[in-house]
Amino acid sequence: MDKPVLFNAASARALKSRLGVKLAKPWRLMIEVVAAMLVLGGVGAVVVEMPVGWFLIGLAALPVMLIEWYGGELHHPPSEGESIDGLMSGDVLGLLGKNPTPQEVAKAAAKVRGGMFFALRFGLTENFLLNITSDKPEDTATIWENALKIRQESGSQHISGAVLVVAIIESFADRDSLLAHMKLDREDLIAGIRWFEHLRALVVQHSAPRRTGGIARDFSFGYIPLLKRFGQNLSEQVGVRINADIASHTRALDQLMDTFGNGGRQNAAIVGAEGTGKTTIVHAFAERILDAKANIPSSLKFRQIFILDSASLIAAAPGRGELEGLIMNVLGEAYSAKNIIICLDNAQLFFEEGVGSVDLTNVLLPILEAGNLRVILTMDEQRYLQIGQRNPGLINALNRISIEPANRDETIAVMQDQLLMTEYKRKVTYMYQSLDEAYRLSERYIHDLEMPGRALKLLESAAGYSESGFVTANSVQQAIEQTMNIKVGVANGEDERQKLLNLEDLIHKRMINQTRAVQVVSDALRRARAGVRNQNRPIGTFLFLGPTGVGKTELAKALADVYFGGEDRMIRLDLNEYVRTEDVARLIADGADDPTSLTAQAMKQPFSVVLLDEIEKAHPQVLTTLLQLLDEGILRDIKNREVSFRDAIVIATSNAGADRIREYIERGYKLQDFQEKFVDELISSNQFKPEFLNRFDEIVVFRPLEKPELIQVIDLMLAGINKQMALQKISVNVAQDAKELLVEKGYDPRLGARPMRRVVQRAVENLVAKQMLSGSVPPGTVIEVTREQVQQILGAE
Amino acid sequence: MPLLYLTHQWYNVVMVLVINLLRWWYTDGWRKRTRLIANRLDGTIDYFSIDLLLKTLFAPFRQISAGRVDGPLGVKMRALIDKLFSRIIGAFIRFIILVIGGIVIGLQAVLGVMILIGWGLVPLFPVIGLMLTLIGVTF
């Protein structure tokens, strides 16, 4: 049997901790006042020749010793041994008495920093902890056991308040469902302890003295008035930034150190996508070389990094050739000063013509090739390649350092560090769940930046959606919903819930029959908004098969209108325009070149209905490209950016086999009887490949509309006309036999209900227009349309 | 007797604390104080950048006239003199700072040593004070 873990409240460490807790600030102040009074009183007594003064001065040593002891040990007693009271943080240990109950442990943990951290960042407040703890002292042993395990697992030095909070939760029998309710799991809590410890370490690190060279540091280096005017000294900003450890950043820093610390060309090009932290690396480099204690080559020690400001340089030298002269002077100054490293941030601005940029290749290339002046360039991969294409010599002269995007853990760590500044500036507190959500949502929806920049961008914008000063997962969702006009959270508004539950009815207000098709898309949306769908696929992928004019496209439009917020939320592609291999490039073109490409539209509007019309006409290569979209909900654009379709409903339509459907119906088959067979026929007749059809969630066959349904279609059209005329307070009423005539004249078995719109337009709209122009219909009139009138108009034509 | 028991308990607690205070004072406390004084001294040395001053004692001040000059002998000579002058100015300023820095660092070191010695005597102050009182020492 395992030996129970004991807590010794009478140990010397526990006594010291209790004294430390008791010596709160007012007490310490009083002790200091007593010490001062004893010294002053003693000195006064000695001066007036009273020997007792010596004793008073001597006595002052006792309060002084107590205060010193508090600062040196009582405040944070060092850990002793492996027992609970030996490892527990002094702040929480000092609050615990003999045989504490779990509730007393919870109270103590909630009162100290670690517990307050969990209350703030995770919402695990004192009340919450009290609700899940008992008042039986014998239950505390489980908490101690868990605390010892969690301390080891999280790598904490002490059993802090944070460790105890997690241990309390761990000891609760129904912890998993409790955490799930708060959208957390055990791993998150362990990560929370690490975050707390990291912040404590940062505070210690921040208060440690810095050695940055002193007053004589720059005596032997030159004056730099031009650089001060046209550049930004990063070395003066050292200490402001907090840098988390990212593997690719650490590697890049070492490479920078190596490049500038040894012989060879003294330049480095930091190449990486936007948001990977290229400028942050330059800041970190500036910080490292300014640290007298760092292990760096002496030739690099105390060098200062200046970022040149291209805009102010261009503004200061508007005349032809002036800029080149100015740049030469600035660089000459940097070279003469002997302690300057020049940084060209977004270096493409110095190598291409454009607004705010200028091509200085001819000036900079010889300097970079000579390799005497230390220069750091940062630019994104694409620009690097473009510049390399135009000027291979330039690329050959540079020492390239590649920066990879950060992974999830690194991004979370960066967010944990950077949010401190945002919290300070925006007066908000970020909860742990918001970081996780920011990573998840930014990965899916933000395409113009890479990690960690993209998650940070979202996290910062979420500060504007804080709830009572707290930035929660919901704030992050709101931020992305407002900026991208999408819906990412689970449906929780009453309106939206009702809309989802009655989606079929709403769609049927503008669509007749095709109940199965309406049901499958409605089900898909409900699954998505209830959060039970596969997040790594589109909301739904459907193939609608059937003859023309039966409502395939109409359903997509209705869905976009009813749920996605308007027919303009539909991305429509007529695939009969994508019949060549080269059309694949058009499909995935960059938005800057072709805003109508599929990827560009989805990037702009991820929450939409994607309608791929007449899919059977597309080139096989186009269909192959679309496979990944259907499968994983992503498509890479021409710039290799991942574009998400995971918030879209993808509907492909096809007329393939329309005659066959009609034939089945005419022979008296019901839709459900022949659907499977029909799909097999499509495969065997090579109209579609099985691997393509398999990618769809549902294949829905639309049947031709029958006469009563066509009359309902007429009713819908008439409702549309009446809606348009409502402003003029005039309405139209078409007699039943007139409607039947309209169906008779408008229905074409090959074209479905489509010609009916033209017939209604000719017969009804023209008639109404004529009557209105003749002035015979005052407002409030109901225009009655009879079969004879319809007959007359249509017959005449 | 409960009261006696309580008094005994309190006596034990106070004794444990006093012993721990003295133990800390002469071990970790003394070490920490030494480290603190050393850090402050280190900060002052960094502030006056003694090592840098020594390394660059004769370097041209602020790189004035430090560049290489090509041209006729007269121009070269003039540049050499300018450079020499710049070096002399630099050496003078650095030397002054070295002297001031040396004095400040020296004083701080002496003060530090005195504090460390005094640290060891602090717990004895009440006893020393009592003895002086009993002897009746006055000015």
Question: B129, A220: Cβ pair inside 8 Å?
Answer: no
User: Torsions phi, psi of B58, nearest 5?
Assistant: -105, 15
Q: Which one, of A612, A648, A690, A680, lies nearest residue A521 by Cα?
A: A648
What is the predicted pLDDT for the residue at A690?
A: 86
The CB-side HSE value for A765 (13 A sphere, CA atoms) comes to 16
Question: In chain A, which among 182-211 make CB contacts under 8 A with chain B?
Answer: 209, 211
Q: Would you state the pLDDT for residue A509?
A: 83
Contacts of B125 in chain A (CB under 8 A): 57-61
CB A475 within 8 A of CB A434: yes
- Distance from the Cα of residue A779 to its chain's centroid: 54
Nearest residue in A to B94, CA atom: A216
Interface residue A56 vs chain B (CB under 8 A): yes
In which band, very low, low, confident or very high, does the pLDDT at A1 lie, cut at 50, 70 and 90?
very low
What the block records as the tokens of A33 is: 């006042």
A529 and A490 in contact (C-beta within 8 Å)? Answer: yes
Q: Does A241 touch chain B (CB under 8 A)?
A: no
Report chain B residues whose CB lies below 8 A from the CB of A58. Answer: 125-130, 132
Residues A253 and A295 sit within 8 Å (Cβ to Cβ): no
Two tokens, residue A245:
């450890």
SS3 A232: strand
Nearest Cα to A578, choosing from A597, A605, A591? Answer: A597
Q: Quote the minimal CA–CA distance from B67 to chain A in Å.
A: 7
The alpha carbon of residue A582 and the mean position of all alpha carbons in its chain are separated, in whole angstroms, by: 34
Q: pLDDT exceeding 70 applies to what percent of chain A? A: 97
Instruction: State how far the Cα of B104 lies from the Cα of A225, in Å rounded to an integer.
Output: 33
CA distance B94 to A216: 8
Alpha-carbon distances of A457 from A245, A484, A486, rounded to whole Å: 19, 13, 17
- Residue B75 burial class via C-beta count within 10 angstroms: exposed 0-12, middle 13-18, buried 19 and up: exposed
List the structure tokens of A456: 């940070």
Name the residue in chain A with its Cα closest to that of B129. Answer: A55
DSSP single-letter state for residue A596: T
* Residue of B63, B69, B92, B95 to mutate when probing chain A, most A C-beta within 10 A: B63
Query: Residues A732-741: pLDDT tens digits?
Result: 888 888 888 8
Whether residue A472 is predicted with pLDDT greater than 90 in this model: the reply is yes
Q: Report the alpha-carbon distance of residue A607 to residue A396 in Å, rounded.
A: 44
In one-letter notation, the amino acid at residue A747 is Y
Question: Would the CB atoms of B48 and A214 count as touching at under 8 Å?
Answer: yes
Mean pLDDT, range A164-176, rounded to an integer:
95
Q: Six-digit token pair at A65?
A: 């010793």
Q: B86, B66 in Cβ contact below 8 A?
A: yes
On whether the CB atoms of residues A400 and A293 are closer than 8 A, the answer is no
Cα atoms in the Cβ-side hemisphere of radius 13 Å centred on A183: 16
Distance in angstroms (rounded) separating the CA atoms of residues A405 and A248: 8
From the list A328, A704, A678, the residue with the least C-alpha distance to A514 is A704
Cα separation, A552 vs A558, in Å, equals: 10
Cβ-Cβ contacts under 8 Å, A49 against chain B:
138-139
Q: A630 vs A554, A649, A687, A698, B102, CA distance in Å?
A: 21, 10, 18, 12, 76
User: For all residues of chain A together, what is the average pLDDT?
Assistant: 87
Residue A141 in tokens:
């042993």
CA–CA separation, A485 and A357 (whole Å)? 33
B49: nearest CB among A15, A53, A213: A213
The closest CB to that of B133, out of A51, A213, A217, belongs to A51
**CA of B105 vs chain A CAs: smallest distance (Å):** 14
Chain B residue whose CA is closest to A16:
B17
Q: Are A317 and A493 in contact (CB under 8 A)?
A: no
E strands within B50-132?
Answer: none
* CA pair distance A524, A128, nearest whole angstrom: 37
Mean predicted confidence (pLDDT) in A684-710? 84
Question: How many Å from the N-terminal Cα to the C-terminal Cα in chain A?
Answer: 101
Predicted TM-score of the model (pTM): 0.77
Q: Using an 8 Å Cβ cutoff, are A572 and A613 in contact? A: yes
Q: How far apart are CA A525 and CA A513, in angstroms?
A: 19
pLDDT tens digits for A386-425? 888 888 888 888 899 999 999 999 999 999 988 988 999 9
Q: What is the 3-state secondary structure (H, E, C) of A99-144?
A: CCCHHHHHHHHHHCHHHHHHHHHHCCCHHHHHHCCCCCHHHHHHHH
Examine the pLDDT at A511 and tell me if it is beyond 70.
Answer: yes
Nearest-Cα distance to chain B for A4, in Å, is 26
Residue A272: count of CB within 10 angstroms of its CB: 23
Cβ–Cβ < 8 Å for A487, A607: yes
B133·A292 Cβ contact <8 A = no
Residue-level pLDDT, tens digit, chain B, 139 residues: 566 777 888 888 889 899 999 999 999 999 999 999 999 999 999 999 888 888 888 888 877 766 677 778 888 888 888 888 888 998 999 999 999 999 999 999 999 999 999 999 999 999 999 999 999 987 7
ipTM computed for the complex: 0.88
Residues A516-535 pLDDT 10s: 888 888 888 888 778 777 77
d(CA A193, CA A156): 8
B48 chain-A contacts, CB cut-off 8 A: 214-216
